[in-house]
Amino acid sequence: CTLLYHCNLWGDGDAWSKWFGLMPPKKASKQGSAKNVGDPSPTSTIKSEISLTDVLSDVSPSNKSSSKKSSKKKAAEEAKRKAEARKAELKRQQEEAEQQLKETIALKEKILKCAMSAANANNGVIGAGFRHSAVISKDGGLICFGTSGRSQCDVPHPSVTAYRPYESVACGHLHTCAATIKGQLIFFGETCFGQCSPPELAVDVGVTALCAGYGHTCILD
Whether 139 and 175 have beta carbons less than 8 Å apart is answered as no
The torsion angles phi and psi of 215, rounded to 5 degrees, stand at -140, 30
Please give the Cα distance from 134 to 121 (Å, whole number): 13
Confidence at residue 108, expressed as pLDDT on a 0 to 100 scale = 78
Whether 8 and 18 have beta carbons less than 8 Å apart is answered as no
pTM: 0.48
Which amino acid makes up residue 42? P
Please give the Cα distance from 159 to 134 (Å, whole number): 19
Whether 180 and 155 have beta carbons less than 8 Å apart is answered as no
Please give the Cα distance from 105 to 97 (Å, whole number): 12
Please give the Cα distance from 173 to 155 (Å, whole number): 16
CA-wise closest residue to 175 among 206, 159, 198, 200: 198
Confidence at residue 25, expressed as pLDDT on a 0 to 100 scale = 53
Instruction: Per residue of the chain (221 residues), give pLDDT as tens.
Output: 444 444 454 555 555 455 545 455 555 455 444 455 455 555 544 444 455 555 555 555 566 677 777 888 888 899 999 999 999 999 999 999 999 999 988 887 877 777 666 666 555 588 888 889 999 988 889 999 998 999 999 999 988 888 889 988 999 999 999 998 888 889 999 999 989 987 776 445 667 788 898 889 988 87
Confidence at residue 161, expressed as pLDDT on a 0 to 100 scale = 84
Please give the Cα distance from 188 to 217 (Å, whole number): 12
Q: Is 209 exposed, middle or buried (0-12, 13-18, 19+ CB in 10 A)?
A: middle
Confidence at residue 121, expressed as pLDDT on a 0 to 100 scale = 59
Please give the Cα distance from 180 to 182 (Å, whole number): 5
